[in-house]
Amino acid sequence: MTDYFYPWNVLWDDVAAAPAIRYGSVDATPEQIMLGDGQHVGTGSQIVSRLVGAFYFAGHGWPDAPHFATVDKDTDPTSPGFNVETTTQNELGTACEIAGVCDKIFTGPKTQRTGPIGIVLPPGYGLEAMRARDVRYPVLYVLHGYGQDPRDLQGSAAITGQYMSDSLRSSATRLASMIVVYVDGRCRIDPVANVPECIRGTFYLNGTRTVNGRPIARMDDWFEEVMQYVDQNYRTMGPSDVDVVQ
C-alpha cells in the first residue's frame, strides 16, 4: 500500500474471501526501506492503511450493519439523541459504554482461564436514542500478535472510530459501525495447575499439554466463552444472510 490507498474506493465485492494485504512501495529505495517502508511494521501511513483496509474488508461482510454518521455527543449537544443512555444490559454499567471503551478482566465460567479483553464500542453506542431503538452491531474480534497483549492494539480504535462516524461520506463508503473486541492471546498462569500455559502464546488454539490429566492452555475454549460474554452484555447483531458466489 502507498500513501494514496483509499479503502472506501475499493470494490469489495471483487475481493477474494481471504485476501492477503501487501503493503510498501514496490520499488522502495534503500533509504525508504531504512525508514520502515514495507518492513515488519511499516511506515505510519502504511500502518493506518493496513488497519483501515482490514476493517473495511471485515465491515463489507455485514451488508445489514448500521452505517451511522454519528455526531459527537460532547461537541454538539443540539444533535438528536444527545442524551446518554440511562440503563443497559451490560454488567459493567453505563459509564464505560458512554465513554466508548469497556475493559474487562474476564474469567471463563468453564475454563476458569483469566485474561484481559478490551471492548471498543462504535460512536453513538452509549446514546439513549440508540438504546431505545435497540440498535445492534456486528462484532469484530481482533487478535494481537505473538507475545503481545490486547492493550497493545486497542489504541487503534481512535483511528477506526473516525471512519465509522465520518459525516462527509455516504453510507455506502462509510465504515460499518461495529463493536471491536481485542482478545487476549498471551500465556497466563493456569488457574488449577498453577503453571504457565505456554511460553508466550498459542495463536489462540487449545494446547495439547496436560497436567495431571487436565488440559491447559485452553485458549480456543476461552475465546468461545468471551464471545458468549459479549453477546450477553452488549447489543450485538444476529447472523446475517450473505450471498456467496462460488
Query: What pLDDT digit, counting tens, does each position of 179-215 carry?
Result: 999 999 999 999 888 999 988 888 899 988 899 888 8
Reported pTM: 0.88
3-state secondary structure 20-77: CCCCCCCCCCHHHHHCCCCCCCCCHHHHHHHHHHHHHHHHHCCCCCCCCCCCCCCCCC
**Cα-trace Rg, the chain:** 20
**Separation of CA 3 from chain center:** 23
Domain spans, the chain: 1-61, 66-233
Q: Is the dihedral of CA 17, 20, 26, 32 positive or negative?
A: positive
Query: What pLDDT digit, counting tens, does each position of 141-151 carry?
Result: 999 988 788 88
pLDDT at 242: 57
The continuous run of DSSP H or E covering 135 comes out as none
